[in-house]
Chains A and B, each alone.
Chain A
């Protein structure tokens, strides 16, 4: 089943065209990796899909679960099952992780006409998911991402993903700044959540993460376009030869 279909997507940021006609489709059960050199438009793609407002879609169409994605504000996209793991998670002093997740989860349940979770069930769920990404229980009382290390912030993103159980998760350079242990924890979290009903789009600069999260498809984004698509082998080739090889091929 098609989860996400992107057709000829063109996006401007502050008047500059960043995405210049993107096409690809994600079906349920699939893991897609999007790779590419810095400034190729990877994060723009992730943010446009999540509904960040600073981006202007000038052309193209994105269909999510049969609906026009651009008809939905970002909170509705999230309730419909889209999750973005931020490259730079935001610190929110004064809002506890527990309160944050409880509010998010209950907004989701309300959207689905379900009763809100009671406090005990919620806490139990939180403890269970916290274990999955190996975060300490005390973190539940701490303010969202405040004073967290880079690795803790990224693990918190995966924790939130585990709590909200999205249909489509987009991981925006979740591996950047992680040491190998944290990388394994993050990858393990993704692998445990992956099943035939959901899909992942993993954006990464390096092949390293893909040793742990095995993608079904690899796309190379360069200058706002997907210039090459392939299987896991493509990622290995990039690791070996770097991006220059592709740049040469395209820029000629």
Chain B
């Protein structure tokens, strides 16, 4: 292993352990130590690893990232948090600064006692049985260095437990603020989300870096879903040009649960999203919706895995993207249908529009089917805007820019319309409209207006 970051990390871990005193021998720490050993073995992946072929994380050696071992929210004002509010959204807000929970900036509305919307550190502190039961059991740290590293340093993040039969109407928003005003920071939030039987809720994750120095976020989330629960997980990614992100979300689904993961990527420097679901019991449903609309030198890699282990489950995956300037996008959609998983329906689509010759897309559907009575399909397309459609619109007096706007909005709307939180949907719509339209007076959806 080489690299300055890795050397620093080795000493960081000693520092971290010394700070722990008595809890060094706790169940949580045993997992951390195990993960740390794995990290020492693997290091960070390189382009030689098949799963990282097109997404070489070379940036880790390019900057002097400093790992944050403790939280300090003093330098973050309420105004900063307010910048990242969604207009009119009534939410439970959890704010994290460099990966550590900030009670002062968070705003969790009154709720029943059994419902936990709080911090991972608190749950570890009070020896929560759920932490011991679930932490590190789903997000596999034997596969790659990033997850191993996060697990080794898992201290804080969100801990959410929604008990049996509970429906939470307000979206729960996880706002991760990274402070890169004074130094280049590396944060590693660790989230554990547990949905009880028949519970239902929505989670929204945002990462925002303040300051212009490089920042690197390496979060891992484990989502554990019990019988017939329904979780919608939204990751809205609109960070700055100096932000680097490698996020892993691992979902474990029990019988008849429904998971919907929506990933909207609008800006950032390097974004790698690992989104994995294991369908561990019958009658589960998994929906992945993705939209990336990126330009500049932005790099986005959506690496998804839907693992059908049991019969009678459905999965639907649709990722769509618009690539401008020199954007580079990777889509890798793996679907495994195990021998047991008869009567599986699995559908996958990836569609891309390239607006320039310099934009690049690597799309790779990967279906591994070991059962014989299944329905699976995948489709991937990449191309430029349809010239026939453009000419048709222009021949009706619609200017070229406006025509492109109409077509791109139409293309993106298939994913946007799947966002079930109106305020979020409006934000994404207006972001795309702002970026595309200079002259918005003459553009509006007449049917929207009449509603």
Say what secondary structure dominates the interface of chain B: helix
A222 CA / B396 CA spacing, docked (Å): 29
Q: Is the CB of A107 within 8 A of B442?
A: yes
Q: Is the CB of A95 within 8 A of B410?
A: yes
Q: Is the CB of B414 within 8 A of A94?
A: yes
Q: Is the CB of A103 within 8 A of B441?
A: no
A84 CA / B441 CA spacing, docked (Å): 27
Q: Is the CB of B410 within 8 A of A94?
A: yes
Say what secondary structure dominates the interface of chain A: helix
A100 CA / B403 CA spacing, docked (Å): 9
A93 CA / B351 CA spacing, docked (Å): 14
CB contacts (< 8 Å) of A52 on chain B: these are 391
CB contacts (< 8 Å) of A89 on chain B: these are 392
Q: Is the CB of B400 within 8 A of A75?
A: yes
Q: Is the CB of B395 within 8 A of A100?
A: no
Q: Is the CB of A104 within 8 A of B397?
A: yes
Q: Is the CB of B394 within 8 A of A74?
A: yes
Given A92-B389, A94-B414, A75:B449 Cβ within 8 A: no
Min CB distance A91 to B, Å, is 8
A79, A86, A93: the one contacting B392 at CB < 8 Å is A86
The answer, yes or no, to whether A252 is at the interface (CB within 8 Å) is no
Query: Chain B interface: which of A21-29, A116-124, A200-208, A228-236?
Result: A116-124
CB contacts (< 8 Å) of A99 on chain B: these are 406, 445-447
CB contacts (< 8 Å) of B414 on chain A: these are 94
A77 CA / B411 CA spacing, docked (Å): 27
Q: Which residue of B lies closest to A160 (CB)?
A: B396
Tell me how many residues of B have a C-beta within 8 Å of chain A.
32
Q: Is the CB of B398 within 8 A of A93?
A: no
B391, B410, B413, B441: the one contacting A74 at CB < 8 Å is B391
Q: Which residue of A lies closest to B410 (CB)?
A: A94
Min CB distance B177 to A, Å, is 35
Q: Which residue of B lies closest to A54 (CB)?
A: B387
The answer, yes or no, to whether B108 is at the interface (CB within 8 Å) is no
A94 CA / B429 CA spacing, docked (Å): 14
Q: Which residue of B lies closest to A85 (CB)?
A: B395
CB contacts (< 8 Å) of A104 on chain B: these are 393, 396-398
Q: Which residue of A lies closest to B403 (CB)?
A: A75
Spell out B's residues near A (CB within 8 Å): 386-389, 391-400, 402-403, 406-407, 409-411, 413-414, 441-447, 449-450
Apart from A75-B395, A99-B406, A164-B397, 9 more pairs, CB < 8 Å: A53-B391, A73-B400, A75-B394, A90-B388, A94-B410, A94-B411, A99-B445, A104-B397, A111-B397
> Could you list 28 A-B pairs, sorted by A, with CB under 8 Å?
A52-B391, A74-B395, A75-B397, A75-B399, A78-B398, A83-B395, A86-B395, A90-B386, A92-B392, A92-B407, A94-B409, A94-B413, A95-B407, A96-B447, A98-B446, A99-B445, A99-B446, A99-B447, A100-B393, A100-B396, A103-B442, A104-B396, A104-B398, A107-B398, A110-B442, A119-B446, A164-B396, A164-B397
Spell out A's residues near B (CB within 8 Å): 50-53, 73-75, 77-79, 83-84, 86, 89-90, 92-96, 98-100, 102-104, 106-108, 110-111, 116, 119, 122-123, 141, 143, 160, 164
